Amino acid sequence: MELFISIIVFVLGLGVVICLHEAGHFSMAKLFKVYCEEFSIGFGPKLISINPKDKKTGKKKWETTLNLRALPLGGYVSMVGESDDAALTEAGIGKLPKERTFSGVSHPKQAVIMVAGIAMNLILSYFLFFFGNFFSKQMDSYTNRISVVQTVNGSDSPLYQAGLRTGDRILTMSMAIDDLDTDDLSSQIIVKDSQGKSYDENTIESLKDDLVFTLSNRSRTVSSYTDIDYVLSDYVFASDWSTVPIASDSDTYYVYYPVSSTVTYSVELTYESKESDGSYSQEKSATLANIPSVAQSDGTYAFGKVGITYYESYVPVSGKEGLDEISWESLGRSLSYSFVMQGSGIADTYIALGKLFTPSGYQQVGSIISVFVVNEQAVSLGAYYVLYIWGLISINLAVLNLLPIPGLDGWQLLLCIIEGVTHKTISKKFKERATIAGFAFLLVFGIAIIILDIIRLV
């Protein structure tokens, strides 16, 4: 069922993002009375073509034919005069006045038509972020309320076995490694500073009290999920040696000491249970004993798999507690924070483009396969993440189309600017050849990242 929902969301999301982009071009072209022969979603062979005919004359009722094509990798609006006037009038349109062609309208109008698609994607991304922030549940790291995962690795999670449930508030939390021999640490450990310099036994001895506390007991009064995560996530052990940073007034010391790969740990906590009426019970306590460390893909062992995650709330505002309801107080925050998210998304996209051809950069590039995988992950997390991911996809489409690559909106915009500044018309033959080269490059690049995605999946 989740896969089915992911497919539906993917198709709808892709359709909306592409349709609104092309609708931006189309609406401005119609406003300036440019003749649009075709509004197409997708490329390649036609699957569906819509343009009703007049029963008496047999002529098409609409100027523009709506087409759905086989490859859902984008879309386009065919405007007479955008590339070659003759090529776009083969369908019996007849000779058109120059002012009804793309090349016949002024350069500022041409620029508006080209920018309109990009603007629509940016507007869409903002509203997706806003609806996600204002109307959707999201992970709330500002309070100490938690969500309890019932199963971990096929069995009841330690937290669920201890009696905690989603909505409970954790008050205090401490964590300790089981059977840790703290008396003999100074004879086994190596201490280095942040520059890699080793320290002698006297320095180790002076750090021993801090070290013993760090390794044997992490204890804290918690008021947010960040505090809870701090207690649970500080231990990461390699199979032979562990590394634990200990901050001092002048430096951070990195302590290395041998550990067993079968390390277990225990957690003690106090909490308040959420009652059915939304109130909270008296303070309770629970102990989670002998929890095994969890092997990570990089050969280390991490702690924290006790069945706890962020609480999902409609009101992610510091100090806000109580019933799960939409708060009108979050309207202003949603309006402003959506702009912040949009700006961050645009900046991140340009940063990723700047790193595209670096050794690490190409790992961040994905085809439509990656889009589906990320969409599927978002569906599993909830509506907020679906809206957020598609907001980012819409931003990516806007930024990529702004690139001055032949075949993209940015190229047409660049031509408009050059012709407008120089007052000279660029050769149609050059435009056609550049467009063909641009589409060839985009096709090869698209196939390459699809192959890269398939290799990653395999």
Residues 345-378 have pLDDT tens digits of 999 888 888 877 776 666 667 778 888 888 888 8
Q: How many whole angstroms separate alpha carbon 122 and alpha carbon 221?
A: 43
| Stated pTM of the model | 0.64
pLDDT at 390 over 90: yes
Q: How many whole angstroms separate alpha carbon 60 and alpha carbon 52?
A: 6
Q: How many whole angstroms separate alpha carbon 332 and alpha carbon 326?
A: 13
Residues 240-287 have pLDDT tens digits of 666 655 555 555 656 565 666 667 788 899 999 988 777 788 899 999
> What type of residue sits at position 161?
Q
Q: How many whole angstroms separate alpha carbon 423 and alpha carbon 284?
A: 79
The answer to whether the CB of 108 falls within 8 A of the CB of 385 is no
Residues 315-345 have pLDDT tens digits of 544 444 444 444 444 677 778 888 888 998 9
Crossing angle of helices 383-401/2-31, nearest 10°? 40
Q: Residue 352: how many CB atoms within 10 A of its CB?
A: 14
The answer to whether the CB of 172 falls within 8 A of the CB of 222 is yes
